[in-house]
Amino acid sequence: MLAAQSRPALTETPGLDQARALLSRVWGHGDFRGLQGQVVGQILSGGDVLAVLPTGGGKSVCYQIPAILRPGLGLVVSPLIALMTDQVEALKQQGVAAARLDSGVSLDDRSAIWRAARAGELDLLYVSPEGLAAGAMLDRLAELPLSLIAIDEAHCVSQWGHDFRPDYRNLGLLAERFPGVPRIAVTATADARTRDDILRSLRLEGAQVFVDSFARPNLQLSAERKENASRAKTDARVIEMVRERRGKSGVVYCGSRDGCDRVAQALRDAGTNAIAYHAGMDTRERDRRLERFLAEDGAVMVATIAFGMGVDKADVRFVIHADPPGSLEAYWQEIGRAGRDGEPAEGITLYGPSDIAWSLRRLDGRPMAEEVKQVQVRKVRQLFAMLDGAVCRPQAVRRYFGEQDAAPCGVCDVCSDPPQLYDATVPAQKALAAVQRLGGRFGRGRVIDHLTGRTKDVQPWEQQLSTWGVGREISLNSWREIVDHLLFEGLLVEDPNDGKPLVGLGDPDAVRAVYKAERQVEVRRAPLRADAAPRRRDRSGEGRNAALETMDADVRARFEALRAWRRDRASEQHV
Ligand code: ADP
Ligand code: MG
Ligand code: ZN
């Protein structure tokens, strides 16, 4: 009873019935869904809002409807011309007076738009953050009554987000320039830190915050480790997956423009209607390709992240990441473009150790504060830990977004076929010890060579290390899996160095915990014994670190033997 009294029912919010009527008449939707009604109600009553609603959840009407119902012009800040064009065209077709001011609008059209705005004939005006920053626009707007200010894709304001746009940071000044005008910021993906940053940067301290659940129950998610770093193999796998989904509309994300062109061509060769899309094409060409994707049945867009923000195609049946995204936020946003119609859809991510190195290297090249870089690096690691982990995919992501009580989804690859995990703590200790002794001199493959004692270009100092050949009993492939897992977990890190990453120790606390066997390392496949290598004495009964400690004498003996052999061979050659 009390709760009902203190929180007025939706129908009591002034204007909400009108809003619902508008939603039905102009948009043809029966009712608000999710938190839409509450968001609209808050804006109608003049309050500020930050709304975090899922992709395809209908964020646009949250500000479009109050903009129409309240007196004055609704100002919408949007990061992309393509987004503005889509929305403005759709609104116009629905009979709403909407316009956009971006770099592509002629001077004549600009004057006409301002005339209409001053005459009170415009409901919604879309602008870019850059356009606003120019200043003159603000002065003109200040002369007009505004119904509200909406900031779409508001995660762009935050350096913690994945689409940071410096001009978004200046939008805080709107609070001073337009006091009393309700402001609403909307985004699909923002973790708690990003939400705080948005509130602070946009000076939305008094705003009511709405966060919808991140659940997307119609999405079936999976992740697949790339067999190796070979592009040809990855391409072949992508083509195979698209073929299995023949006739369905989908998106394939690639990490580079070259990759897009290559994969799109390969898909076309295989008979798929594939369209490449990236920022290397001019805007008009991109628009043409987007139109084809929207119009043609079974079209597959092969794109970089230049594609996607706000793309509204309801029947995308799959999103495949040929290269993984940059963070869990980006992952959720990108796979979120599948199944916007609520029908079953898939999100499949391919990932490998060269991808994590690539992601980190790319961050390294960007100008940003050290503190920001640290966070971005951690985000890359969190993504890969999820991909290579054994937790239900949506559950892992929703927990990351703060939904601690999210239940397993029941349909992802982990839920439907739980991976069998094996204790690889002892091999992990060996690998960590080796990397420590090697002092970060070697890359991933060479570290594994050191562990298996198989390298041809072995250094004398290297052979003297107690870790040389310490992992002979485990096969090369198993070592790759284990070392990669350590990289994905951040126990080992690859430091970019002239494009050839060297392996070092990761988070010291985590490494120490593994050394002390307080933290277990689990891999998906049981470490295989190397078939070719001679069997070693079984030391499993001697405790976790015993194998490492007792190795020295053993290695030394082998080292002596090897030296003797080398001497012999050298003298033979001199003969
Ligand atoms: P977002 O910006 O949150 O990703 P959009 O605003 O682009 O989503 O809306 C996605 C789709 O959902 C649009 O086609 C829109 O018309 C539709 N939609 C919005 N609200 C509703 C609703 N209440 N009922 C049904 N469909 C809706
Ligand atoms: Mg949107
Ligand atoms: Zn699951």
Task: Determine if ligand 1 sits within 6 Å of the CB of residue 64.
Answer: no
Measured CA to CA, the distance from residue 301 to residue 294 in angstroms comes to: 10
Measured CA to CA, the distance from residue 417 to residue 220 in angstroms comes to: 13
Sheet holding 49-52, edge to edge: 98-101, 124-127, 73-77, 146-151, 183-187, 49-52, 208-211
| 126, β-bridge pairs | 76, 100
CB atoms within 10 A of CB 536: 15
What separation in Å is there between the alpha carbon of 60 and the centre of ligand 2?
Answer: 6
Q: Within the chain, what is the greatest distance between any pair of CA atoms?
A: 102
Sheet holding 274-277, edge to edge: 219-225, 345-351, 318-321, 250-253, 300-303, 274-277
Please say whether the beta carbons of 203 and 172 come within 8 A.
Answer: yes
Q: Which ligand has the minimum distance to the alpha carbon of residue 39? A: 1
**Ligand 1 atom 9, closest CA:** 58
What three-state secondary structure class fits 281? coil
**Ligand 1 atom 14, closest CA:** 312
Compute CA distances 96 → 22, 91, 117, 184, whole Å. 11, 5, 13, 20
Q: What's the confidence (pLDDT) of residue 275?
A: 98
CB atoms within 10 A of CB 439: 11
pLDDT digits (tens, 9 = 90+) for 289-317: 999 999 999 999 999 998 876 677 889 99
Structure tokens at 17: 């019935």
Measured CA to CA, the distance from residue 237 to residue 396 in angstroms comes to: 25
CB burial of 505-529 (b: ≥16 within 10 Å; e: otherwise) equals: bbeeebbeebbebebebbbeeebee
| 503, β-bridge pairs | 494
Measured CA to CA, the distance from residue 10 to residue 467 in angstroms comes to: 68
The better pLDDT of the pair 485, 549 is held by 485
Measured CA to CA, the distance from residue 469 to residue 487 in angstroms comes to: 20
Residue 55 confidence (pLDDT) above 90: no
Show the CA angle centred on residue 224, arms to residues 434 and 532, nearest 5°: 45
pLDDT digits (tens, 9 = 90+) for 432-453: 999 999 998 998 899 999 999 9
Measured CA to CA, the distance from residue 515 to residue 425 in angstroms comes to: 8
> Which range (159-173, 269-283, 507-521) has the least confidence?
159-173
Query: Cα–chain-centroid distance for residue 511?
Result: 26
Task: Determine if ligand 1 sits within 6 Å of the CB of residue 53.
Answer: yes
Closest CA to 123 of 210, 206, 39, 65: 65
pTM for the full predicted model = 0.72
Identify the DSSP state of 474. Answer: B
Residue 499 confidence (pLDDT) above 80: no
Average pLDDT over residues 161-190: 91
Average pLDDT over residues 101-126: 94
pLDDT over 90 for what percent of the chain?
63
* Ligand 1 mutation target, pool 29, 315, 334, most atoms within 8 A of CB: 29
Residue 566 confidence (pLDDT) above 60: no
The better pLDDT of the pair 404, 499 is held by 404
Q: What's the confidence (pLDDT) of residue 455?
A: 83
Residue 363 confidence (pLDDT) above 60: yes
What three-state secondary structure class fits 355? helix
Q: Which ligand has the minimum distance to the alpha carbon of residue 333? A: 1
Measured CA to CA, the distance from residue 538 to residue 529 in angstroms comes to: 12
Task: Determine if ligand 1 sits within 6 Å of the CB of residue 36.
Answer: yes
Q: Find tokens 């102009």 and name the residue.
A: 26
What separation in Å is there between the alpha carbon of 505 and the centre of ligand 2?
Answer: 41
The better pLDDT of the pair 324, 534 is held by 324
ipTM value for the complex: 0.98
Instruction: List, in order, residues 6 or more apart from 538 with CB less than 8 Å away.
Output: none
What three-state secondary structure class fits 151? strand
Task: Determine if ligand 1 sits within 6 Å of the CB of residue 57.
Answer: yes
Q: What's the confidence (pLDDT) of residue 409?
A: 93
Mean pLDDT of the residues in the chain: 86
pLDDT digits (tens, 9 = 90+) for 222-241: 999 997 778 999 999 999 99
Measured CA to CA, the distance from residue 571 to residue 567 in angstroms comes to: 6
pLDDT band at 142 (very low <50, low <70, confident <90, very high): very high
Residue 11 confidence (pLDDT) above 80: no
Closest CA to 401 of 384, 379, 385: 379
Q: Which ligand has the minimum distance to the alpha carbon of residue 151? A: 2
**Residue type present at position 79:** P
Structure tokens at 562: 């090897």
Q: What's the confidence (pLDDT) of residue 377?
A: 86
Closest CA to 305 of 280, 325, 335, 332: 325
Please say whether the beta carbons of 339 and 317 come within 8 A.
Answer: yes
pLDDT digits (tens, 9 = 90+) for 334-359: 999 999 888 999 999 999 988 988 88
Q: What's the confidence (pLDDT) of residue 367?
A: 79
The better pLDDT of the pair 491, 533 is held by 491
| 220, β-bridge pairs | 346
Secondary structure element (H or E) that encloses residue 331, with its range:
helix 328-335
Average pLDDT over residues 14-33: 91
Q: What's the confidence (pLDDT) of residue 141?
A: 95
Instruction: List, in order, residues 6 or more apart from 172 with CB less than 8 Å away.
Output: 201, 202, 203
Q: Find tokens 């994945």 and name the residue.
A: 162
* Ligand 1 mutation target, pool 312, 316, 332, 333, most atoms within 8 A of CB: 312
Q: Find tokens 């699909």 and name the residue.
A: 188
Measured CA to CA, the distance from residue 252 to residue 276 in angstroms comes to: 9
What separation in Å is there between the alpha carbon of 97 and the centre of ligand 1?
Answer: 19
Identify the DSSP state of 529. Answer: B
**Residue type present at position 184:** I
Residue 195 confidence (pLDDT) above 70: yes
Instruction: List, in order, residues 6 or more apart from 513 with CB less than 8 Å away.
Output: 519
What separation in Å is there between the alpha carbon of 419 and the centre of ligand 3?
Answer: 12
Please say whether the beta carbons of 335 and 55 come within 8 A.
Answer: no
Measured CA to CA, the distance from residue 503 to residue 158 in angstroms comes to: 31
pLDDT band at 378 (very low <50, low <70, confident <90, very high): confident
Measured CA to CA, the distance from residue 244 to residue 408 in angstroms comes to: 27
Average pLDDT over residues 55-66: 92
Q: What's the confidence (pLDDT) of residue 310?
A: 60
Structure tokens at 375: 């966070």
The better pLDDT of the pair 12, 140 is held by 140
Residue 215 confidence (pLDDT) above 50: yes
Structure tokens at 332: 């959720």
CB burial of 320-330 (b: ≥16 within 10 Å; e: otherwise) equals: bbbbbbbbbbb
Instruction: List, in order, residues 6 or more apart from 57 with CB less than 8 Å away.
Output: 33, 34, 36, 188, 212
Secondary structure element (H or E) that encloses residue 571, with its range:
helix 551-574
**Residue type present at position 242:** V
Structure tokens at 273: 């209607």
